[in-house]
A = this chain, B = another copy of it.
């Protein structure tokens, strides 16, 4: 409660300091920052520096991308501005700049989340009028942060005469879902941040999802299992087959998951096969690789399930992307079409597991 008073004081002061354009700006950390594995007051990382310590350098770096993070606030403003600063404005061939570096805003309306607007990134420092000509009713909002960039600072601006405050009850369900995975989990290739499948699930199920997707680097190091075990998860979703080789899956997946089973015997685990890469229908090498990856993961599931069938679930690749071969941008990374499909399947299993 004391902490909250200090935060409120900072909020009021900073608002006055930053009022320049008729808008008062509030730092994102004061607006119920969620989706991280730790409570941060000064960064937009998914794992903190202590949690990252024994992990590979690339995972440590990617953990500083703000994928899956949201801020949640209530305001009666008729206009909402956002200022944000990135470490670097990035371009990636199979993603939109707004998904990588930008933001999207939802409002909680008629008891569900509805898209409001997206904020266009133009450089490292950005200031955007996200929405204007609102009706002035007090409303709850959620802002999804950039998927593939490091965010250094973010502020939400409302007109001086409006009120804005953190919306602390932004999740109707207090349980947390942790999804560990690859670039697909991190959000490649959603059209905008809120369309990454962990975020779709979070909005639809009303619970917090920690996005631990690490592009190209979700390879099941044992230190990652130890990291995951420390997060107070209600369920673990392991979508980490696309990055490791079949040999790595064979060597790592059993000990990785077994460790979680021992450390968190009450916490269900959902294992997801790799998406069946579209290229695998054509390229015989890719076909062989993805099928071996999935076979090794399946072997691990069979072993764990034989040991104890309780609280362990397995999703086959055939259930992830539909059957029309149109769900990816490049054969591997899911578009919004693919993310809608995979989120439906994962939600079915989450409902079983929770």
- Identify the A interface with B (CB < 8 A): 91-98, 102, 107, 114-118, 120-122, 131-135, 189, 191-192, 195, 200, 278-279, 281-286, 325-331, 335-337, 340
Contact = CB atoms under 8 A, between A and B. Distances in A.
A17 B122 CA distance: 44
B195 A326 contact: yes
For A95, A97, A329, the residue with the greatest tally of chain B CB atoms inside 10 Å of its CB is: A329
B118 A329 contact: yes
B192 A283 contact: no
Contacts of A95: 96
A132 B283 contact: yes
A170 to B, nearest CB: 19
Nearest to A339: B337
A98 B330 contact: yes
B330 A285 contact: no
Contact of A336 (B134, B325, B335): B335
B107 A282 contact: yes
Contacts of A189: 96, 191
Nearest to A92: B97
Nearest to A105: B282
A113 to B, nearest CB: 9
A190 B134 CA distance: 29
A279 B329 CA distance: 26
Contacts of A93: 96-98, 102, 120-122
B282 A331 contact: no
23 contacts: A92-B97, A93-B98, A93-B121, A93-B122, A94-B98, A94-B118, A95-B96, A115-B325, A115-B326, A116-B278, A116-B282, A116-B331, A117-B278, A118-B329, A132-B285, A133-B282, A133-B283, A133-B284, A134-B284, A135-B284, A191-B328, A326-B340, A337-B340
Nearest to A122: B93
A102 B330 CA distance: 11
Contacts of A94: 96-98, 118, 120, 191
A327 B98 CA distance: 15
Nearest to A327: B336
A195 B191 CA distance: 13
Contacts of A96: 93-96, 189, 329
A335 B191 contact: yes
Contact of A329 (B132, B191, B285): B191
Contacts of A200: 326
A291 to B, nearest CB: 14
Contacts of A114: 281, 325
